[in-house]
Each structure stands twice: as C-alpha cells, then as structure tokens.
Amino acid sequence: MANVSLRNVRKTYPGGFEAIKGIEFEIGDGQFCVLVGPSGCGKSTLLRMVAGLETVTSGEVDIGGRVVNEIEPADRDIAMVFQNYALYPHMSVYNNMAYGLRNRGMPKPEIDTRVREAAQTLELAGMLDRKPRQLSGGQRQRVAMGRAIVRQPKVFLFDEPLSNLDAKLRVAMRVEIRKLQRRLKTTSIYVTHDQLEAMTLADILVVMNGGQVEQIGSPLDIYRKPATTFVASFIGAPPMNLIKLGGNEIRAQFAGDSRSAAEAGILGVRPEDLTISGAAATDGGITLNLTVEAIERVGAETFVYGTRARAEKAVSATPGELPEGEVIVRIPGQDAPAIGASIRATASRDKLHLFSANGRNRIDI
C-alpha cells in the first residue's frame, strides 16, 4: 500500500537520446494507473524506471514516501509482470512463485501458505508441479501474476501483460486483473498500447507521446475532453474525426464566441456523436455532406466511411489517422446507406471539440 510519485523524471540514454522528457504525476494509494501511448513513447521505459531496471537520469521516483532512485529493484517492494511472462523455464509453477520469497529468507511454511493461496485465487492449484512449457499462454500469464501476488508488494507493475494472448483471452484476463486489483487494493501501474485496455482498467489514465505526458485524468474525462488532437485520436475507436477549419462555413457556427472563432484551427467530432439525418443541424451544431465510400458492419454497429463534398481536409494526427477528407460515422444497428450515396451527418454543438491549429491546445466552447 503506497502512493507513487514521479517528480520531473527524465531519462537520457548514453547516446544522447532523451526517452523521458520530464514527467510528473502522482498515483494515490490503491489506484490503478494506466500508461498508454504508441510504441516508442517511453511508457515502458518509465515503468522500468519505477521498477529500478533503468536508471533515472534526473528527477525523483518516490514509492510510499521513499525516494527509490538508488535502490535495487528487489528492495523497492514492487512486483512486475512482464510481457513475455519471464517465467523460469526450469522451475515448476510452485517454485516460480516461491523463488522470490525464498531469496528473501521467508520461512517455508509461510511461503507455502502464500503460494497455495495465490494458486487458489488464480485457479492454478492443480498445476503447481508443472513446468511453464506445459501451460497454455493464459495459464503462464496467471503464473506471472501469481509470482507478483505472493510477494504482497507495495506496487504492481504490468508491462503489456496481455499482448501475447489471443483476443478472447485478453478480454477475460483484463477483467480478472481488474477484479484482483480491486480486491488486493494494491497500487498498480500498467503499461499498454491498447486504448480499450487503458479505458477499462484505469483509475488514472496517463496518455504519453514522445517521452512526455499528453494528458492525465480519469478515462472518461479524457474521452470527453481530450486535451490535444493526439489524445483525441488515440483514445476512442474508431478515432475522432479531426477536420481542419479552412473555410468560414463551420467557423461561422462559433461566431458568437470570438475567442474560439479566432483561435480554433481544428474541429473534432467523434464518430459515435455523428448521426445521419435528413435535416441540417439547427442548434449550432455542424452538418457534413458526405459521399459514402465504404461500410464496415461489425454486428451491433456499423461504421460508415464518407468523404466530404467540400474542399476542407481532415487533419491527421498519428496514430489512428484518417485519410484526408475522410469522416467516419458510427451508427447503431446494421442499416447503412448504400455505397456512393450522398448522406448528411450532423452533430450537436455540445459534441464538438475545438483545438488550436497546431493541435496542442484544447479550446473549450
């Protein structure tokens, strides 16, 4: 049980590459923090710095009120779950879990109690004598979790623990991890590039890009009010439509608010906030005239890919970029317009997001 604070943490590699460019945030006791971002954004590096597997160039990593910069990983009271599980291939499941406890000189009966307890929780009780290679991917994953649990550490660190599992198992394990963490109330930091995992697991979501934090907040706050176009396109699937404001016809909608009209350069609207309707938007919302290019039916909903008739281009912000001028509309059910049809998509004013022209600032309407 501990909070974790990062104070102006930086990491520069010997080659001069700056992987982490000054990160500062705090995770409260028992909270589940998810670091999300595209590959190479520094999220894994940051996690490994908390673990002690990477040195901290400057700044402070604080676990439970103790600055741990110079402390060995084993003495930081953390446990880590690796992407490839990193189980000891020659040890049985039991020994994999017990190894860390033995190294700490814990008495045998207590080790036994803890391991059997963890095995119960993770439904591994019948497999304690097996070797990792005799287990399925999901079971290995659970052993890796078990190894972390038996330690009863202050902090759990997860480094993309689900990315080696197939899609179905991933969803199941995601729920299990969340339930487990709720029950154990252990502060956790979880790294992923999967925005769905990020949204569903996090108490606090940290969106990272290029070694910096783009936005910190609760998942829904971030979804509702993305601070930058990067966050807007990274959180939510399919990504938010981002439309560069060129002509006056959309800008004119906001004429009443001089500040937004003057500064706004990019308009964002989520696919699920667009509706196909016959009438134009009236309440200060926007209307997009689209030609349907493609349809994706996934059962419960349908994605309509259209291009705008007007000349304005949608800006693209990696990742999840939209081809220029393309707009995605997400509609419930399976009824969709025909390909090639002209449709009108509208969104009400409160569903619109405005950003500065460089995409770095959100402008509240």
Q: What distance in Å separates the CA atoms of residue 256 and residue 365, rounded to the nearest whole number?
A: 10
Is 72 a binder of another protein (CB under 8 A)?
A: yes
Q: What distance in Å separates the CA atoms of residue 275 and residue 332, rounded to the nearest whole number?
A: 10
For 293, residues 6+ apart whose C-beta sits below 8 A from its C-beta are: 305, 306, 307, 326, 339
Q: What distance in Å separates the CA atoms of residue 356 and residue 365, rounded to the nearest whole number?
A: 12
Is 53 a binder of another protein (CB under 8 A)?
A: yes
Stretch of residues binding another protein (CB under 8 A), selected from 35-43, 70-78, 185-193, 314-322: 70-78
By beta-carbon proximity to another protein, the closer residue of 87 and 232 is 87
Q: What distance in Å separates the CA atoms of residue 33 and residue 218, rounded to the nearest whole number?
A: 9
Stretch of residues binding another protein (CB under 8 A), selected from 71-79, 207-215, 228-236, 263-271: 71-79
- 3-class SS at 179? helix
Amino acid in the structure at residue 133: R
By beta-carbon proximity to another protein, the closer residue of 79 and 240 is 79
Letters for 97-136 (x = contact with another protein by CB under 8 A, - = none) are: --xx--xx----------------------------x---
CA dihedral sign of residues 195, 196, 201, 203: positive
117's enclosing H/E stretch is helix 108-121
Is 168 a binder of another protein (CB under 8 A)?
A: no
CB of 306 to another protein, least distance (A): 45
Is 51 a binder of another protein (CB under 8 A)?
A: yes
- Other CB atoms within a 10 A radius of the CB of residue 250 amount to 18
CB of 191 to another protein, least distance (A): 14
- 3-class SS at 169? helix
CB of 87 to another protein, least distance (A): 8
Residue selected from 89, 109, 278, 340 as contacting another protein according to rule CB under 8 A: 89
Is 78 a binder of another protein (CB under 8 A)?
A: yes
Residue selected from 22, 38, 64, 73 as contacting another protein according to rule CB under 8 A: 73
Interactions with another protein, residue window 257-276 (CB under 8 A) = none
Residue selected from 67, 86, 169, 365 as contacting another protein according to rule CB under 8 A: 86
Residue selected from 83, 275, 348, 361 as contacting another protein according to rule CB under 8 A: 83
Q: What distance in Å separates the CA atoms of residue 219 and residue 231, rounded to the nearest whole number?
A: 11
For the chain, what's the residue count? Answer: 365
- 3-class SS at 19? strand
Note whether 154 and 77 are within 8 A (CB).
Answer: yes
Is 70 a binder of another protein (CB under 8 A)?
A: no
Stretch of residues binding another protein (CB under 8 A), selected from 14-22, 49-57, 281-289, 355-363: 49-57
Stretch of residues binding another protein (CB under 8 A), selected from 67-75, 234-242, 295-303, 321-329: 67-75
DSSP assignments along 289-326, one per residue: EEEEEEEEE-SSEEEEEEEESSS------SSSPPPTTE
CB of 261 to another protein, least distance (A): 53
For 141, residues 6+ apart whose C-beta sits below 8 A from its C-beta are: 81, 85, 161, 162, 164, 165, 173
Amino acid in the structure at residue 152: Q
Is 147 a binder of another protein (CB under 8 A)?
A: yes
Is 191 a binder of another protein (CB under 8 A)?
A: no
By beta-carbon proximity to another protein, the closer residue of 75 and 296 is 75
By beta-carbon proximity to another protein, the closer residue of 45 and 229 is 45
Residue 81 φ then ψ, to 5°: -110, 120
CB of 137 to another protein, least distance (A): 13
Cα–Cα nearest to 359, from 241, 273, 232: 232
In the complex, the residues that contact another protein under the rule CB under 8 A are 51-53, 72-75, 78-80, 82-84, 86-90, 99-100, 103-104, 133, 147
